[in-house]
Amino acid sequence: MDRMFNKLRNLDAYPKVNEDFYSRSLSGGVISLVSSFFIAMLVISEFRWQKYELRVLLKLLLIMRNVINSASIMVTVKKEKEGLYLRKVTDTQLVVDTSRGGKLRINFDVTFPNVQCTLLSLDAMDISGEQHLDIRHDIMKKRIDSHGNVIEVRQDGIGAPKIEKPLQKDGSRLEHNEAYCGSCFGAETSDDHCCNSCEEVREAYRKKGWGMTDPDLIDQCKREGFVQKVKDEEGEGCNIHGSLEVNKVAGNFHFATGKSFHHSSMNLLDLIALQTESYNISHKINKLAFGDAIPGIVNPLDGVQWEQTSSNGVYQYFIKVVPTIYTDIRGHTIQSNQFSVTEHYKNSDMDHYRSPPGVFFFYDLSPIKVTYTEKHTAFLHFLTNICAIIGGVFTVAGIVDSFVYHGKKALKKKVELGKLR
């Protein structure tokens, strides 16, 4: 047994020095004190001091004092050790997006300081051929004055106000017990087709591919005071915000100064009889997101503002949508999207087809999906960092101390020999 112990002693990489041979110096004490301070600061930085972590440290001190209650202590440590010992990191991966179908939710908040709410409409279409014209569901509009103050908040309604003895489809006046059936002014699709509001007449015109040239000639529009409503909003702006769901394929949505209608596979605008020489489509994008918000990700168009300085034109945003999955440290998953964007302004004067003024967002989906996964670094990694800090500072401090000690010794020897005067 003694021979085995002797062999183990020979393997000792840390031979002990007799205390009688130690020589302590003032410079060594200063260097030790400074290095201890650096070690403490670096170790603290590994813990990333926060209120939560400080609270856990205090709890661990209490645990050490009451070590008898080890059963309940282990539960507490298991719940809170993640915030104390382990650092949260985000792992990023790129994978091919193999998902099929589904919907894409677009959240937006855009302000047009020079376009009235009555004239502003939202349309969406995609490459599958699906179209949504003059979208109103989940859309809110705010009338704003020239200073940006809100005048009125409203959701575009469907239908007309109560009216007294309007014209029937056959040209007669509505009697007391009759059901109202208004004329579509030539745009009827069947004998029993009725248009009971200005909007229904305009919708019938859109389906026919016709443009409404003078709303005052339409009984429903005249009763509802549509033209007067637009004139009353002259000089105002509009903030439009809400969300829409579209197919998860390439497409576009756009804000236009008029109401869209479909004709010969082209989308045109019914600017009614109130069109002016030009429309100012200056705008500010307060928010644009494809899906839910992702922590730490700022969408590139949030807060972007553009001022129109020329005549009528179309402002276009070409967006590349990247599907993104974010999983936080608790396992909660957010399926959303990031996007990149380029911008282009097309002047109508240079456009052969005279594109209607508006702001267009063309989006396409990337075949690559990004996954973000929050996780903790391993506890052993934490211990490795602590050992590296202590060992590294200790080694550097030893080198500095050795340099100072031997320098002083050499200097003292030269003084004794009279080589320094």
> Alpha carbon of 7 to those of 2, 4, 18: distances in Å?
9, 5, 21
Q: Buried b / exposed e across 211-245, counting CB within 10 Å, b at 16+?
A: bbeebeebbbbbbbebbeebeebeebbbbbbbebe
Same domain assignment for residues 31 and 102:
no
The number of beta carbons lying within 10 Å of the beta carbon of residue 370 is 18
What token pair was written down for 217?
């000639």
If phi > 0 it is left, if psi is from -120 to 50 it is alpha, else beta; for residue 138 that is left
Confirm if 46 and 384 have CB atoms less than 8 A apart. Answer: no
Q: What is the pLDDT of residues 274-324, one digit of tens each?
A: 444 567 889 999 999 999 998 888 899 999 999 988 777 889 999 999 999
Confirm if 254 and 359 have CB atoms less than 8 A apart. Answer: yes
> Alpha carbon of 84 to those of 37, 58, 76, 181: distances in Å?
21, 11, 12, 73
Same domain assignment for residues 40 and 170:
no
Indicate the number of domains in the chain: 2
Cite the DSSP H helix spans in 48-171: 51-65, 70-85
Residues paired with residue 304 on neighbouring β-strands, in sequence order: 285
Q: Going along 296-367, which residue ranges are E strands?
A: 304-306, 313-327, 333-347, 358-365
Which of the pair, 195 or 250, is modelled with greater confidence?
250
Same domain assignment for residues 30 and 110:
no
Nearest-angstrom CA–CA distance, 323 and 57: 40
Which of the pair, 261 or 393, is modelled with greater confidence?
393
Same domain assignment for residues 389 and 295:
no
Mean pLDDT of all residues in 255-277? 49
What token pair was written down for 334?
């957010």
Same domain assignment for residues 105 and 81:
no
> Alpha carbon of 385 to those of 45, 135, 153, 167, 394: distances in Å?
11, 57, 57, 85, 14
Q: What is the domain range of residue 282?
A: 96-374
Structural domain contains residue 14? no
Same domain assignment for residues 82 and 137:
no
Mean pLDDT of all residues in 7-14? 67
Same domain assignment for residues 50 and 146:
no
Structural domain contains residue 100? yes
Same domain assignment for residues 82 and 133:
no
Which of the pair, 305 or 134, is modelled with greater confidence?
305
Same domain assignment for residues 334 and 252:
yes
Helix (H) or strand (E) holding 398: helix 379-416
Q: Does the pLDDT value for residue 377 go beyond 80?
A: no
Same domain assignment for residues 386 and 363:
no
Same domain assignment for residues 361 and 384:
no
Structural domain contains residue 7? no
Residue 54 DSSP class: H
Structural domain contains residue 158? yes
Q: What is the pLDDT of residues 323-338, one digit of tens each?
A: 999 998 888 999 999 9
Confirm if 271 and 176 have CB atoms less than 8 A apart. Answer: no
Structural domain contains residue 1? no
CA 176 to chain centre: 56
Structural domain contains residue 112? yes
Same domain assignment for residues 206 and 193:
yes
Mean pLDDT of all residues in 96-116? 90
